[in-house]
Structure 1
Amino acid sequence: MRKLLAALLSTTLLAVGACTFAPDLSRFAACDVQGGCPSGTSCLPSENRCLPTCGEGGRCDGLDEDPDAETDGGTGVDAGTGPVGETDAGEVDAGEADAGQVDAGSEDAGPAAPLALESSSLREGTENVSYSAQIQANGGTPPYTFTATAQLPKGLALDTAGRISGTPTRAGELVLPVEVSDRSVPTKRASGSLLLPVRPLLRVAGPEPLADAINNRAYTERITATGGKAPYSFALAPQQSLPAGLTLAANGTITGTTTQAGRKEFTVVVTDSDTPPQSTNGTLSITLTEAGLAIKLVSRAVPGGRVGSDYSYTVRATGAGTWSLKDGTLPPGILLDTKDGTLSGKPTTQGDFTFRLGVADLLFSDERFYTLHVD
């Protein structure tokens, strides 16, 4: 009997979804009162019907003649590709609509965005100060690989992860030639020249030492700075002082009269006008000297300069005279005013330039070597 039921199930092909298995057995003969049936059939007590006996592995005789076989268990409406099949178990449920192009196809994800370098990803650096920044890219398929397509500015290096590091040795807008590649197949590439803005380093230029102060005589000297962004503001560092009787103005000028003997050392702070501003310290000194009858150079040094920046400093003496360049070479771009001893111009070459200046009046003269350092 179990074989008979299995045969009926196989011929109805498991009507899917909401369909119920309810075969029509009314066409089979009823069992007699003792439960007997004609030869080749056996009684199904629950339905009181004589059903054909199926042989092992064979077919059930009489089932195929059922005129309703295709309707109950065939490939038509109940379990085929018609309305019920499409809704319950057909192509709509397991096909392209559920797991195909709509859910995971190219229409949703779309093509990857073009690969590109981000031109504004580098923060500002400062000349001769350690620097580190991350180059950014977008689009394509991460992760990215970065390489330099030409020589980087001196002092800087680039790794494959896009990290720029090192110490820029000059100020200005440094050009970084960079290429980025992604992990797509085939590999996408994008290249460009990124600009790294580098501020000039602010320095106290001196001179150091400052011109000697003549005992009990009016004194004037000027502290200067290089780099940063002019104009500059000068002040004494906390708990610092000048020789008694001298004061420091915000523009770097020291004036007054002193009688304080010996050498006085002090620290000044200079702040530039950049945003954000730079500040730095410098240690300077003044020595008291006595006036004599002869003309005498009281400037012991000259302040440093910077390539392309305005330079002006008046070398100081105890009296008026005529100035001259006695030996050596002034930095290219710097001239000497022979009337008042002023060095001025715009240096064009870096380096240390040593020269000997002289001053003479009608009776006396004096000479001294100076070194002007140009950044």
Structure 2
Amino acid sequence: MRSAKFFLPSLGVTVAASLAAAPLKADLPELVSPLNPPAAMIGVPYDVPLMLYSNQPPCRVRFITVDMFGNAFDAPPAGIIVEQFPAASGNWRVTGTPVSLNAPGIYNLCLWIRDASNPSPNMNISVDTFAYWDLELREPIVCPAPRITAVEGSPYNVSATSSFTITGGGIAPYVFSAPAGLPPGMSLTSNGAITGTPAPGSSANSPYIIDVAFHDSSPELFGLTVYNVEIEVLPPILSATTSLAPAEEGVAYPATQLQITGGTGPYTFGNTSGLPMGMNIDSDGMLSGTPSCAAVENGPSYTVSFDVTDSTSPPVTVPCTITLDVLGPSLAIDTATLADAYEGEPYSVLLAASGMSAAITWNVEGLPAGLNAGRIGGMWQIIGTPAVGSAGGYAVTLTLEESDGFSSHELSVPLPLNVVEPANATGLRVLTSYLPDAREGEAYTRQTIRASGGSGQYAFTISGLAPGMTDGPGTSGTHWIGGTPEAAGQYVVIIAVEDSIMGDRTSKALALVVSPAAAETGDVAVIHDGANVDLVGGAGCAMGQSRATYVWLLGLAVLAGVFALRRRSVFGT
């Protein structure tokens, strides 16, 4: 739709009309494009060339505020003009930079256009045409330069949130261009997120100053360059406390402030793990407390982990570790054997322990009838009188528990206890009184189990052997224990024997120690059973036959003496 004003000289009148078609197009100037002008933005240079049609150029163009119908229009935004460029070329453009005095919004504009036909040679009339624009003027895009603070070695902006706050008349989303000069290890995403992990050593060149350009998503692609964006890279957050004075079990530890370097103070400590029970690190990094009674047994060296959060915006959290040693003796049961008890006779054995730093309690299981464990006069002991008929071997377990206000722990040891019949009693008894030590994973030399008294026809039952060990009947009324132990430890073996003819029964408890598997060093090891001596191992066994015979005889003599002493101590002979 075009509007035109016709001047008729013969009549001396002016006629205004709207032309739906273009029957006189050969004589009418016309704005071909743009019919809908692009938007403008305050503070942003605006330049729109006008494509004009005219049969008789050149044309003249200007903004007017009242058209031929008397309709009022807006003046163009201040800073916007229509001009011929270059001068006198007949090429027109709307140009300029809208100033901040303008109010954003829609400006209803009217362009007046006249060409050189004045009056028209074909119609003897002068013609003015008009074009109508709705020009949108938008607020300027505003984006202050952010100040970024990152920490060397710590991820920054993991969620990739835009680092820029944009307001004004732009249309989101905004598209950013990658700038030069970012810290090593960091980048700028297309949505404006400065992210990444500053590389080692990057704090030495801090701060980094960059210029960041972006544009909006409007057809005009309004953009902005944000100058002097500062990125500060702080030194890495590290624990400056590299060593700690040892703590002592059961003794209050002097309050010690943990020192941190890097990042931005003050620091907050949290998520602590690995400390001995009874100690803690508060939110300010103060280490204090009293190691519990189990600290040495559970340590004694502790790797303590904790998180440190600094005051950088946004805050940075890093994990740190330190090592703390706890001194003190380990809890131990010192009672290694239990003396034989006798039916009907008073019995008393003190229970001994060491390495305590808190209250202790004893628990004893497997005692024969008539014996109990208790605390008498401040001393723990097994006390009582074995009941008549209680003779035999027993597997007794001593359990020692230590506890304080923070924790408790216990350890146990199995020990054999034998209750002997009265001295004047005769009858069935187990003669074997000692089992040599065994070693895990190595064949155990068979030990012959013997009994005496009664009819001489015996049935043996063996219990308490280490896993992997076996037993079986021997010759001449004997029994044997052998096999290959599969687990190291201390065991109580109960040897029970029954007279197959007379039905009498008795038993004896013996200790069996299985040592952990030996390291494969090729060293010479001696394995003995009291009657045989075998040399096992490396080249040290290579010797002459006469010398080897001498060593065997010497070994047998020494071992025979040792076992004789053991038997005297057991039977009191």
TM-score (norm 2): 0.27
TM-score (norm 1): 0.38
Higher strand share: 2
Q: In terms of Rg, which structure is larger?
A: 2
